[in-house]
Amino acid sequence: MRQILTQGACFAILAPLVAGAAVTDLPRSNGEIEIDGILGDGEWANAVQIELDIETNPAENQPAMVKTTVYVVEDGQNLFVAFDARDPQPLAIRAFLRDRDTAWEDDHVGITLDTFNDERRAFQFFANPLGVQMDKTHNDLRGGGGQGIDASWDAIWDSAGKINDHGYVVEMRIPLSQLRFPDVTGQKSWGYDLMRVYPRDRTYRLSNHPRDRNLNCYLCQIGDLQGLEGSKPSRDLEIVPTITASRVSTTDEPGVVPLEADDADVEAGLTMRWGITPDLTANIAINPDFSQIEADVLQLDVNNRFALFFPERRPFFLEGADYFDTPIDAVFTRTVADPDFGAKLTGKRGDNTFGLFAALDAETNLLFPGLFESDSETLEQENTAFVGRYSYGFADTSSIGVLLTARDGDDYQNVVGGLDGRWKINDQHRIFFQFLQTETEYPEEVAVEFEQPLGSFSGQGSLLGYNYSSRNWFGGLNFESYSSGFRADSGFVRQVGVDEYRGRFGRRWYGADDSWWTQVRASIHADRTFAEDGRVLEEENTVRVGFGGDLQTWFQFAYEDGKELWEGVNYDVSDARFYFEITPRSGLFLNMLATYGDQIDYSNNQLGQGTRIEPSVIWNMTQKLLLRLKGVSSKLDTPDGEAIFDATILDARLTWQFNLRSFLRLTVQNTDVERNQAQYIEEIDEQSQDLGLQLLYSYKLNPQTVFFLGYADQYIDDDSVDELTVTDRTWFMKVGYAWTP
């Protein structure tokens, strides 16, 4: 039952909606605060106390059903935050030991800090009841006019949590040196928000600030935190030396030639972060370890025309990534494959935001976009890469910016430059745009092999979009155009020579507090893609209906009907899609995406009937043992039922979390594809299997002070070998230590 508040208490909760967000004075304490998950006697005596007494989701600014008291204080060098989260059923608290940044399904509490108080970008710090850390940045303008989060951002801070007889307590110490903020005299004014996520039959969000669903921004609705007088932004220096070692055994003829071990490869590297001024930060990496430790999540690359997207995981590139974000994906740092040196400069001064990045890369990764498909190649030659970004903020969280990227190598060059902007017309309407000009030249042998233009050639890319969002209605219009000569070699644009028009329109309904459903969402979508010569490449008309309810369920059904041009034939295609997710109990999350309908067989130029099922499981089997399981089953048949291919992938990761800092993880990745040669124009392997095994031990004192030790095997089985045969075997180790003087 929801707690009943007096009329006066309700008025106090809802008053900010009328009078504007409240201002909270942040006191200073000279006492010692121990971060141990226990509210010690007198430790928080000088702190301001704030109640999280508003439920903003799924209810709309109703009294909170559980009591949460937050204590906030600073000492000139650190911000201290403690959450006393009461719970009438402590045994129902959802809390598991996890690696950092992975406990979002648990109970958790956190604070948002808009340190420039400009309603554009904010830092967020969260922890679950056991103290597992999660941090990210929030940008109201990121992603082409909408709201965006970047969970890849990591800070070095302290947290501790303990479950007790009344609920749980989480304490945080956030060093000011981990934050960027303006150096002003007197008191500082930061935007802030406090929240508690309370997952039970539904996921309840509790806060000290109400949320107006008629506003399409978050940071514009949070309160002000005033204090920190005399505190200076730190010119922090962080130096991280690393040592990496690996030994790889490989064979060019699996099953015929035994594995041959290479010499052990040991390398030392150094990365450094230096706060040159309060609003200017430099990152430098010399002979860095830019490799990622864990394998990417498997994706099924069967009957695909365009390159698959894999997110960036390497810490050097992740820091400050949103400084280089634009509506078109013109900056994608995984194009930097094996750099010997990297440098980055990011900063914000007043309304001006800028970022510079340069790297000397030992390899040159190339993506060749096309009208109907894309290709790729890696050249064993060096290139220098440069990215420059400047943005000027004006009016109400609007901005205009410029972008320049350049890659230069032996007989190779790619330069991209242009203008972009985001305009917040009002609280419901936003417009965003970008125009890019490119100049490219490939080595002659590469241009011939991949059927690219000889010599230097140019191209243009443009994007114009409009978004609308209110409490009940949402929609948008987008136009994208890429000429056939457009190349963004530092980014990720897979298709060129096209003009694409997209439109969407939809409505939301919200359930009452006592109803079995929380939200219903219905929308219609229309997409049209044209070639430069006017041919219609694709037509898509889609209807979607989704609703959420108890057990944190979400169900969505979509029906798509359209046309697609392939090899000169216009195919009528339609399919139905079903998505479902549920959390039936604490620590168990299930979801599944299923698709059935028409699908073009691109290899054999025919229309087939496709079935694709994608289940996944996140299951905390115990407080320390976690299973993450993702699978894909894709099958394509001819209209008369004869099989064309049957493909499955399995990505299973079993993790034993020893404590907050260390874990042991076994990863099993398997891809199995069977093809019917009778249906294929060209000769193919009728059966192929790839199996990868990895065992990884990880210890993280903080995001930069780390120790990794791992072992991996790779196996294949296809028509050329008789059984599953090992092709690669790797031992690897990495040690990194963050030194902060």
Task: Determine the pLDDT at residue 487.
Answer: 97
Provide the token pair at 388.
């420059």
Integer angstrom CA distances of residue 224 from 29, 291, 575, 618: 20, 41, 49, 38
Sign of CA dihedral 654, 658, 660, 665: negative
User: Is residue 177 a contact partner of residue 234, using CB atoms and an 8 Å limit?
Assistant: yes
User: Is residue 732 a contact partner of residue 245, using CB atoms and an 8 Å limit?
Assistant: yes
Q: For residues 693 and 729, what is the distance between their CA atoms, to the nearest angstrom?
A: 10
Count of CB atoms situated within 10 Å of the CB of 253: 11
Task: Determine the pLDDT at residue 304.
Answer: 87
Q: For residues 514 and 241, what is the distance between their CA atoms, to the nearest angstrom?
A: 56
Q: For residues 100 and 153, what is the distance between their CA atoms, to the nearest angstrom?
A: 12
Q: What is the CA radius of gyration of the chain?
A: 27
Beta strands 473-482 and 662-675 are unpaired
Selection from 659, 697, 701, 700 nearest residue 130 by Cα:
659
Tell me which amino acid residue 627 is: L
Q: For residues 93 and 95, what is the distance between their CA atoms, to the nearest angstrom?
A: 6
Integer angstrom CA distances of residue 677 from 371, 604, 643, 686: 28, 11, 10, 6
444 DSSP assignment: H
Angle at 151 between CA 150 and CA 152, to 5 degrees: 90
> Count of alpha carbons within 13 Å of 162, Cβ hemisphere only?
8
Q: How many Å separate Cα 665 from the centre of its chain?
A: 22
User: Is residue 667 a contact partner of residue 696, using CB atoms and an 8 Å limit?
Assistant: yes
Helix, strand, coil shares, percent, the chain, to 5: 5, 55, 40
Task: Determine the pLDDT at residue 251.
Answer: 87
The verdict on domain 7-227 having CATH code 2.160.10.10 is: no
Task: Determine the pLDDT at residue 291.
Answer: 59
Task: Determine the pLDDT at residue 301.
Answer: 84
Positions of the chain with pLDDT under 50: 1-20, 143-146
Main-chain dihedrals φ then ψ at residue 12, nearest 5 degrees:
-65, -35
Using DSSP's 3-state secondary structure scheme, residue 654 falls into strand
> Count of alpha carbons within 13 Å of 197, Cβ hemisphere only?
19
Provide the token pair at 532.
């430069």
392 bridge partner residues: 352, 400
How does pLDDT run across 286-345, given as a tens digit for each residue?
877 655 667 777 788 888 888 888 777 777 787 778 889 899 999 998 898 888 899 999
Selection from 244, 314, 232, 236 nearest residue 281 by Cα:
236
User: Is residue 236 a contact partner of residue 177, using CB atoms and an 8 Å limit?
Assistant: yes
Helices (H), 305-424: 315-318
Measured between its terminal Cα atoms, the distance across the chain in Å is: 52
Main-chain dihedrals φ then ψ at residue 549, nearest 5 degrees:
-160, -155
Q: For residues 118 and 86, what is the distance between their CA atoms, to the nearest angstrom?
A: 33
Task: Determine the pLDDT at residue 408.
Answer: 96
Task: Determine the pLDDT at residue 722.
Answer: 77
Q: For residues 385 and 364, what is the distance between their CA atoms, to the nearest angstrom?
A: 10
User: Is residue 30 a contact partner of residue 162, using CB atoms and an 8 Å limit?
Assistant: no
DSSP letter string, 373-397:
--EEEEESS-EEEEEEEEEEEETTT
Q: For residues 76 and 187, what is the distance between their CA atoms, to the nearest angstrom?
A: 12
Main-chain dihedrals φ then ψ at residue 131, nearest 5 degrees:
90, 10
Tell me which amino acid residue 421 is: G
Beta strands 662-675 and 687-700 are antiparallel
8 DSSP assignment: H
Cis upstream peptide for 129 (omega within 30°): no
User: What are the residue ranges spanned by the domains of the chain?
Assistant: 7-227, 304-469+476-496, 499-594
Helix and strand totals (H; E) in the chain: 3, 42
> Count of alpha carbons within 13 Å of 562, Cβ hemisphere only?
21
Selection from 455, 373, 461, 472 nearest residue 413 by Cα:
455
Provide the token pair at 366.
């190339």
